[in-house]
Amino acid sequence: MKSKPIILLSIILLPLFGLAQSSLVTHDTLAIQEVVIKAAKVGSTLEKMPASVSILQKRNIQTQQINNLAELSARVPNLFMPEHGSRLTSSIYIRGIGARIGTPSVGLYVDNVPYFEKGSFNFAFYNVSKIEVLRGPQGTLYGRNTLGGLIKVYTDDPGNKQTLSLNTEYGNYNQLKSVLHYNQPLGNKFSLTADAVYYHNDGYFVNQYTTKTADKLNTYSGRIKLSYHPNSRFKLQLTTMYEQNNQLGYPYAIYDKENQTASDVNYNRESSYNRGLLSTGLYAEYTGNNFVLTSATGFQHLNDDQLIDQDFTPASLVFVEQSRNHNTITQEFTIHSVENARFSWVAGMFGFLQQADKNVRVDYGEDAVTVFHLPAVMSKYKSYNQPTRGMAGYGQIGVPFGNFTATAGARIDYEASGLTYNYDLELNNNLIHKDDFENNLHFSQFLPKFTLSYQPVQTINTYLSVAKGYKAGGFNSTFESDEDQTYEPESSLNYELGIKSTWFNRRLIANASLFYIDWKNQQVYQTVPSGQGAMIKNAGHSYSKGIELELRALPLNNWQVWLGAGYTEAKYIDYVRDSSRVYNDNYLPYVPNYTLNVGSNYAFHLNTGWLKQIVVNANYQYFGKIYWNDDNSAWQKAYGLLNGRVSFVTGNIDFGVWGKNILNTNYNAYYFSALGHDYVELGKPVQFGLFLNLKL
């Protein structure tokens, strides 16, 4: 397995070096375009921004068939997003920093609207124009939930030309995806886009007990964007997106750690996850003579229902019903310097209000009476009412002197959260009140950042940065003692050294970075003492260190190649759970020690009357060894996924074939232990299909 990425890398990149003295120098009609990083908030370009940033443009998002956040895994160095059985839980890890439960440790913004609830992270991608991934803490400018990094997703803006397009694809497992896109100018100042999307698959895994697939999925989504641009100084954009997700979920199988084999998916109660997600954002921007003023207002509503056979066996043990209702309002104002100003600066204020309500019913069946020594069949009813609010002020300034630029920034963050909790037990048809309480938490933090960059020549930029990361504490939704009701904040110091460079008239871009993260008072996932649920404890002090490398090249005008590689060593420094469980020097779970993405797009230009191009894409995702638990007793060995796409391009029609996991690699996508068993979710098998894109 270790030789495969090396072989593929050689095949794709060796021709590049052979052409370095000829094509890269003489063919200057096409180059890799300079990209402005919107997440910088001051209009910095990719090469000038002193931070580790990855950019995925629209073409690569389409050709690599990136349909959701999970498919960014390894396509961005040191980024990993494991499967979790449904779209309810979507944990993202960057440089080893992530959160399996609780609030995310990686921030997500979609069209300037922050997504705070991880249940909203796994949404369908369509007409995505760009994805920016900033690695390392982004607390100075973005604050909440950016301990590990930040992901910003941008969708297509309205244009000034009427267009209509239909993109559809069909594949094995009865996969069907259709996207209808319409753009309409409304006079000289207004324009509108509208999208309608349907996605379906029959599921990849069969539940042997029910003889039906365990992971069937239907998604219905739509988005409307209205843009108002009366003059060159002012623009206003309103975006509304809604997605309905109906999913059979949790294709978990009992796993034998010793032999590393999985049984069939086999449990007696059908499980599902249904989610409605509404997201609305209003963005305004005014450009003055020496400043740019922006306002971003966001509203998100999430309503979901989960049904889950929590023991995942044919026995009638534990079945959980959960319903949630989340409403979040955000407001941010920023003012920053104009492009090419001598001093780059930004200042802003941010505030949010969130109301989260959750109701949980846990049914203990007939078999649970014997297994858990219960007096009789019973049900637990728990309700959680949790309002959260926060506000922050931040600023950053960059001062050039000679070939150096010193940038300093800081953020003051405040967050308050409350919880009203109620717990009743139903036993022998009697409802017994067990517990209730109200509690409030308050957190504040000062987050500094300092960066020194050095640009010896126009095409090379180096930087050194030190930044503090922070994530507030909170309430556990499962606990069995008073001391486990809450958990404290965690923080990190991130040290980074990087270089960015362009070569051969921007036909080759090479970026690299080294990092070290000291992560203290870590919020660690633990099962509760009974094994029936999980909670967060402040139990860890860890470090994460590594390296990242990204290359993008255009050897020929019709040939693009890229390489993204990352190495992370993330270990506990001090984590003593009890006298028999000491995890010092163990690897952190859910962190591949290597990630690699290598790929190529090649366009064959034809002289035939109707067929203009044939575009061939191949890309390979490689994941190093992944430990699944704190004691490092369960792991997934290194594996790779080969993907590809062939497009036939005419004037208004593109069609072709696509494939994912073409070599049908067997791997485990997720692991956990509960109720005395180990479980895995198997990775998706080989997938292939046809696509057709029509433009009218």
Residue 325, SS3 per DSSP: strand
The CA distance from 686 to 663, in Å, is 7
Please give the pLDDT value at position 43: 73
- How much of the chain is helix, strand and coil, in % rounded to 5? 5, 60, 35
Residue whose C-alpha is closest to residue 496's, from 55, 94, 21, 45:
94
Residue whose C-alpha is closest to residue 514's, from 536, 499, 535, 529:
499
The CA distance from 145 to 147, in Å, is 6
Cα–Cα distances in angstroms (integers) from residue 278 to residues 59, 246, 283, 302, 304, in the given order: 27, 15, 17, 6, 12
Q: What is the pLDDT of residues 333-382, one digit of tens each?
A: 999 998 888 889 999 999 999 999 999 999 999 999 999 899 999 999 99
Please give the pLDDT value at position 3: 43
Please give the pLDDT value at position 539: 83
Please give the pLDDT value at position 315: 93
The CA distance from 631 to 322, in Å, is 30
Domain containing residue 63: 3-695
The phi, psi pair for 559, rounded to 5°, reads: -140, 120
Residue whose C-alpha is closest to residue 673's, from 638, 633, 637, 639:
633
The domain that holds 461 is classified in CATH as 2.40.170.20
pTM for this prediction: 0.92
Q: How far apart are the first and last CA of the chain?
A: 46
Please give the pLDDT value at position 257: 87
Domains of the chain: total: 1
Q: What is the pLDDT of residues 201-228, one digit of tens each?
A: 999 999 999 999 999 999 999 999 999 9
Please give the pLDDT value at position 90: 81
**Residue ranges of the chain with per-residue pLDDT less than 50:** 1-29
The CA distance from 413 to 143, in Å, is 7
